[in-house]
Every structure is written in structure tokens, then in C-alpha cells.
């Protein structure tokens, strides 16, 4: 049984970097002595940056913990050729003959941040939205094992 779960590594890395940068920024801001009109405003900025460096990473990590607690994204039984999608409530038999995955890269001015990546499940010709991200390499940890198990992954670049 091959299990695919939410990958929290990017969130942990982002949280760590953001925490370090905000704490450094708070120390730099606290050490600046100059002609501040209001010293209380400078102190408030220091506390705001420090709080931002703690609260935002905490939210990112809690989001990852919540996603992991929801269970597997999918499970595949190689010997039985059954693909289970617990979050969708589906179990697909003869999966390699009935399922392929579509990796789509949307670009253009009509797309938020000019880049959106989607990994969709295509079951018996019907496209089902599966995962979406603004990061390209976030899906490589899923698509490579899928291809090695015999699933087709079609890659498309779509300009909007």
C-alpha cells in the first residue's frame, strides 16, 4: 500500500525563515537610534514585527498539522490495483486502466500571481479537481511516484 500525505516540509521551512527574518528585523529596528518623532511608535513597530514573526509561522504550522490530521490524500494498493481517495470518499478499482493525472500550469494576466499549478484526477474521462498550488515543485513528490507505479501524468501549459 502506497500512501500519499500532505507534505509539511515547505511550510516548516517557510515558517523557520520567516521567524528568523522577523526576529532579526525586530532587533535591527529596536537598535536604531535616531530622530524618531514618537519613540512609542518605534517600540510598537518592534513588537508588531516580532509578533508577526511568531504568529504567522504558527498559523502555517497549525495549517500543516490540520491537513495531516485529515488523513491520507490518497492510497494505492499495487497488488489489488485499487486507488482510494479518502478525502473524496472514493475507491477506484482497476485504477491504472481507468485513471490518469493531468498536471496543468496556468499562466497569464487572468491568473492570480501569474502562475497556478493544478494536479487533477481524470477518471473514465471525467476531470476531477484534486490539488492546486502556486508552486511548481510542490507536485513533483506526487507525480514521480505516480508515474513509477504506472499512472500516466499528462503535463499541459495553458496561457489565459
What is the residue-level pLDDT of the chain in tens, covering all 160 positions? 787 877 788 888 889 999 999 999 999 888 887 766 777 888 888 899 999 999 999 999 998 888 888 888 888 888 898 988 888 888 899 988 899 998 888 887 766 667 788 888 899 888 888 888 877 666 777 888 888 888 888 888 887 7
| Number of CB atoms found within 10 A of residue 137's CB | 9
Element at 97 (helix H, strand E): helix 95-98
For the stretch 83-89, contacts whose Cβ atoms lie closer than 8 Å and that sit 24 or more positions apart, written own/partner, are 85/121, 88/128
What's the pTM? 0.67
Strand partners, 157: 105
Amino acid at each position: 500500500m502506497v500512501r500519499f500525505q500532505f507534505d509539511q516540509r515547505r511550510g516548516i521551512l517557510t515558517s523557520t525563515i520567516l521567524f528568523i527574518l522577523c526576529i532579526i528585523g525586530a532587533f535591527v529596528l529596536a537598535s536604531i537610534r535616531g530622530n524618531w518623532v514618537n519613540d512609542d511608535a518605534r517600540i510598537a513597530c518592534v513588537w508588531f514585527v516580532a509578533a508577526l514573526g511568531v504568529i504567522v509561522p504558527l498559523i502555517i504550522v497549525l495549517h500543516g498539522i490540520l491537513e495531516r490530521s485529515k488523513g491520507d490524500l490518497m492510497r494505492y494498493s499495487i497488488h489489488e490495483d485499487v486507488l482510494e481517495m479518502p478525502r473524496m470518499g472514493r475507491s477506484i478499482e482497476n485504477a491504472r486502466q481507468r485513471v490518469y493525472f493531468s498536471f496543468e500550469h496556468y499562466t497569464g494576466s487572468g491568473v492570480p500571481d501569474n502562475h497556478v499549478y493544478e494536479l487533477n484526477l481524470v477518471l473514465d474521462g471525467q476531470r476531477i479537481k484534486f490539488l492546486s498550488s502556486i508552486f511548481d515543485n510542490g507536485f513533483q513528490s506526487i507525480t514521480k511516484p505516480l508515474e513509477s507505479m504506472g499512472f500516466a501524468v499528462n503535463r499541459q501549459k495553458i496561457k489565459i
